[in-house]
Structure 1
Amino acid sequence: MHSRTLALALLSVAALAQGGSARAASDYPAHPVKIIVSLPPGSGADTTARFLSKHLAERFKQPFVVENRPGGNSFIAAQAVATAPPDGYTLFVASNSPMTTNAAVFKNLPYDAVKDFAPVAPIARFPMALVVPANSPYRSVADLVAAARAAPGQLNFASGTATYQVVLELFHEQNGIKATHVPYKGTSAALADVAGGVVQYSVADVSAALPLIRGGKLRPLAVTSTRRIKDLPDVPTMQESGNKGFEAYAWTAAFFPAKVDPAIVARVSDAVQALVRSQEGKAFMEQLGGEPFVGGPDTLAAFQRDELASMRRIAKLANIQQE
Structure 2
Amino acid sequence: MLPDMGSPLGDFIRAKRDSIQPEALGLPERGRRRSPGLRRQDLAARAGVSVEYLTRIEQGRDRNPSPPVVHAIADALSLDVPERAHLRYLAKISGGECAGHTRPEPPPRQVRPALLETLRLLEPGVAVVANRLGDVLAHTDGFAAVMADSGLLEAAEPNLTRYVFTDPRAREFFADWDAVADEQAFDLWLGPTVANSEWLSSELAPVAGPEFTRRLNLHQVPARGPLRLAHPQAGPLAFDREVLETADGSQQLVVFLPADEATEQALAQLSRGRDRDRDRARVRTLRAV
> Which TM-score applies when normalising by structure 1?
0.22
Greater RCO between the two (CA within 8 Å, min separation 6)?
1
Instruction: Looking at secondary structure, tell me which structure has more helix per residue.
Output: 2
